[in-house]
Amino acid sequence: MSRAMKTPEDLAGLMRWDFAPSPEQWQAIRAPLEPAVVIAGAGSGKTTLMAARVVYLVATEQVRPDEVLGLTFTTKAASQLRAKVREALLAAGLLPEPGADSDDTLEPTVATYNAYAAGLLTDHGLRIGHEPDTRVLSDASRYQLGARVVERHTAEVRFLTDHPPTAIQNLLALDGAMSEHLVSPEEVLAFDAGAEREFLRAYEVEEAGKARKTYLEPPAKAINAIERRRELMALVLAYRRLKRDLGLMDFSDQIELGARLAVEQPDVGALERERFKVVLLDEYQDTSVAQATMLSRLFCGGHAVTAVGDPNQAIYGWRGASVSNILNFADTFPATSGPVPVY
């Protein structure tokens, strides 16, 4: 039976809280089922707010508990969010008590972004030719595989480092960055070729003119960096071939394939939107281009997606995260009418 939830105090009473949500929190909690952004940094109670929103929507019979999806970055954060949401629903009497013929399948789904992508690939990967038994590399195994590629490399090395650990780290970083940004080796090489022509032209013009050292050094360094990346790309291609031959993938591949699945198979998005009426995206400022693409294609059409995060707290730029995802959320998840609210 639907509960009356007209004030923050109504919700606090249902959840057995000693305090009521603030007016700002109340607006985010009772927001309609449409795209929205909640700006909330560390220590602001965002996990509590997400749990309260789930309770509000379930109590007002807008969704069932199992129609809620919550995603975050780490296993620890997912565990904490899952526990907070479950605790809140139990306190409100919206879930059966443990042991009382309870069914976990009726609870909200809370997972990491990678675990969610892995589930998509298990269920639907064959649609894009992905084998469901492909194994995921740990960070240590990924390094070992990269080392094997570097050891087997026989081509001339003119620009790359001759220090194997550095070469391995650079190889893995470039491979991961391309996956997270959804760009192919061919696209990177083509971009670099165009940039190299421009830098060469600038160098030649300066050399034929005043030949000032301070003007010659920048294009020379840029050309050298492009040559290094061209050599490094040969290692990346060998690394990708080896992964494919051994039936392996890493975490970046999971997200890239999840994005590809969402883009190429719109039926999968229709199934996910039917399965999850409400989606909560935690720490959204740290999502990558590939993650944003995957999620926006799956949960498009004005779906009830709430992104929670703080653009000033972005910490994963080094591994492909794009703070522009939360800044441009309204472009990625447009509302069916009117602006996307920011709370």
The model's pLDDT over 81-117, given as tens digits with 9 standing for 90+, comes to 999 999 999 999 999 887 655 566 689 999 999 999 9
Spell out a b/e string for 167-199, using b for 16 or more CB atoms within 10 Å of the CB, else e. bbebbbebbbbbbbbbeeeeebeeebeeebeeb
In angstroms, the CA 269 to CA 296 distance is 9
User: What's the pLDDT score for residue 104?
Assistant: 62
Q: What angle do CA 269, 252, 147 make, to 5 degrees?
A: 155
Half-sphere exposure of 154 (CA within 13 A, CB side): 1
Which of 121-125, 224-228, 285-289 shows the lowest per-residue confidence on average (mean pLDDT)?
285-289
In angstroms, the CA 196 to CA 221 distance is 11
Q: Which residue type is seen at 37?
A: V
- Give the residue-averaged pLDDT of 292-304: 97
User: What's the pLDDT score for residue 314?
Assistant: 59
Whether the per-residue pLDDT at 281 is higher than 60: the answer is yes
Say which residue, 54 or 312, is predicted with more confidence.
54
Whether the per-residue pLDDT at 315 is higher than 90: the answer is no
Which of 40-44, 60-64, 73-77, 261-265 shows the lowest per-residue confidence on average (mean pLDDT)?
40-44
C-alpha distances (whole Å) from 5 to each of 13, 16, 55, 229, 263 are 10, 14, 10, 58, 38
Q: What are the two backbone dihedrals, phi and then psi, of residue 321, each rounded to the nearest 5 degrees?
A: -70, 150
Query: Per residue, what are the HEC states of the chain?
Result: CCCCCCCHHHHHHHHCCCCCCCHHHHHHHCCCCCCEEEECCCCCCHHHHHHHHHHHHHHCCCCCHHHEEEEECCHHHHHHHHHHHHHHHHHCCCCCCCCCCCCHHHCCEEEEHHHHHHHHHHHHHHHHCCCCCCEECCHHHHHHHHHHHHHHCCCCCCCCCCCHHHHHHHHHHHHHHHHHCCCCHHHHHHHHHHHHHHHHHHHHHHHHCCCCHHHHHHHHHHHHHHHHHHHHHHHHHHHHHHHHHHCEECHHHHHHHHHHHHHHCHHHHHHHHHHCCEEEECCHHHCEHHHHHHHHHHCCCCCEEEEEECHHHCCCHHHCECCHHHHCHHHHCCCCCCCCCEC
Contacts of 316 (CB under 8 A, 6+ apart): 73, 286, 288
| Mean confidence (pLDDT) of the chain | 93
Altogether, the residues listed in the chain come to a count of 343
Residue with tokens 């195994």: 141
- Give the residue-averaged pLDDT of 37-66: 92
pLDDT in tens, 10-24: 999 999 999 999 999
User: What's the pLDDT score for residue 101?
Assistant: 59
Contact at 8 Å (CB) between 105 and 66? Answer: yes
Beta bridge partners of 280: 70, 306
Whether the per-residue pLDDT at 316 is higher than 80: the answer is no
pLDDT in tens, 243-254: 999 999 999 999
What is the pTM assigned to this prediction?
0.90
- Give the residue-averaged pLDDT of 127-137: 94
- Give the residue-averaged pLDDT of 148-155: 94
Task: Select from 343, 321, 330 the least CA-distant residue to 113.
Answer: 321
